[in-house]
């Protein structure tokens, strides 16, 4: 006899998947973990780059404002890592407590927050490099252009796709 599926109307999904709430939570957790892995790798590379800068001979030539920006970026980098690792820590603390749906929801919020901090970090690091290498207005050009690119690729394009899916009745 096939396993009985949960028929709770509050849990109904229109995605056509035949899975229990526990199976859905497991699948969603695996997806969150995969996204966190990608995000964490990028954050670790940026953090390593930032930490190595302080030990370069040219670091002594930075202005006070450039040092302040640098330290802000280091803190943002650490914050991004902490936020991205928070769902894993929560999962470990709540292991075998039947809290997977709550862990998945927390993971989703942490992932969105980490993406926000990483986007600011990415823009900041590149703008910082442009400021050190070219100075002045190059900082602002890099900052504005990268921020716009992130807004378009991470928010506008997904919003357009979501609207098209809803318009076509796919979701």
| pLDDT tens for each residue of 91-112 | 888 788 887 888 889 888 999 9
Q: 13 in a domain, yes or no?
A: no
Q: 84 in a domain, yes or no?
A: yes
List Cα–Cα distances, 22 to 18, 26, 76, 90, in angstroms.
Answer: 12, 6, 35, 18
Q: 68 in a domain, yes or no?
A: yes
Q: 12 in a domain, yes or no?
A: no
Range of the structural domain that residue 139 is part of: 20-167
As for how many domains the chain has, the answer is 1
Q: 147 in a domain, yes or no?
A: yes
Q: 9 in a domain, yes or no?
A: no
Structure tokens at 111: 């992932």
Three-point CA angle 9, 10, 12, nearest 5°: 60
Banded pLDDT at 3 (limits 50, 70, 90)? very low
| Distant-in-sequence, close-in-space partners of 97: CB < 8 Å, separation ≥ 6 | none
Residue 171 pLDDT greater than 50, yes or no? yes
Q: 5 in a domain, yes or no?
A: no
- Residue linked to tokens 């100075």: 135
| Distant-in-sequence, close-in-space partners of 138: CB < 8 Å, separation ≥ 6 | 130, 131
Q: 138 in a domain, yes or no?
A: yes
pLDDT digits (tens, 9 = 90+) for 40-54: 888 888 888 888 888
Cβ proximity of 124 and 116 under 8 Å: no
Cβ proximity of 100 and 63 under 8 Å: no
The pTM of the full predicted model, rounded to 2 decimals, is 0.77
Rounded to whole angstroms, how far apart are CA atoms 58 and 56?
Answer: 6
């Amino acid at each position: 006899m096939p396993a009985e599926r949960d028929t709770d109307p509050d849990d109904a999904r229109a995605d056509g998947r035949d899975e229990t709430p526990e199976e859905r939570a497991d699948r969603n957790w695996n997806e969150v973990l995969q996204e966190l892995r990608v995000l964490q790798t990028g954050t670790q590379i940026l953090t390593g780059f930032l930490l190595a800068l302080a030990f370069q001979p040219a670091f002594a030539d930075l202005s006070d404002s450039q040092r302040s920006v640098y330290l802000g970026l280091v803190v943002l980098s650490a914050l991004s890592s902490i936020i991205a690792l928070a769902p894993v820590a929560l999962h470990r603390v709540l292991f075998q407590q039947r809290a997977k749906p709550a862990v998945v929801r927390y993971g989703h919020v942490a992932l969105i927050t980490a993406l926000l901090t990483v986007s600011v970090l990415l823009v900041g690091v590149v703008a910082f490099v442009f400021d050190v290498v070219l100075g002045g207005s190059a900082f602002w050009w890099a900052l504005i252009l990268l921020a716009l690119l992130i807004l378009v690729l991470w928010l506008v394009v997904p919003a357009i796709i979501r609207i098209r899916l809803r318009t076509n009745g796919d979701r």
